[in-house]
Amino acid sequence: MLFSRASLLFALSTVVAAAPYEKRWFGGWGQGSNSDVLESFLDFGKRHSWRGRTTTQGQCNVAAVQMPQAPKPLPPPSEGLTLYHVAVGRGTQNYTCDLSNSTAIPIAAGAVASLFNVTCMSADSPTLLSAIPNIALELPTPTATDATSPINRDISGHHYFTDLTTAFFNLDTTLSTYGAGGFKKTNSSDAPSTAVKGQHGQGYGSVPWLKLQAKTKDECVFQEVYRINTAGGNPPKTCQGQQAAFQIEYSAEYWFYS
Q: For 219, phi and psi rounded to 5 degrees?
A: -105, 0
| pTM confidence score | 0.81
The bridge status of strand 59-61 relative to strand 107-117 is unpaired
Name the residue among 224, 253, 233 with its Cα closest to residue 70. Answer: 253
184: containing domain: 2-257
Per the structure, how many domains does the chain have? 1
Q: Average pLDDT of each block of 10 consecutive residues along the chain (258 residues)? A: 42 41 38 44 39 42 94 97 97 97 96 95 94 94 60 84 97 91 98 96 97 89 98 97 97 98
pLDDT at 43: 46
Residue 162 CB-density burial (10 A; 0-12 exposed, 13-18 middle, 19+ buried): exposed
Ramachandran assignment for 44, one of left (phi > 0), alpha (psi -120 to 50 degrees), beta (any other):
alpha
pLDDT at 175: 83
Name the residue among 7, 16, 18, 19 with its Cα closest to residue 50. Answer: 7
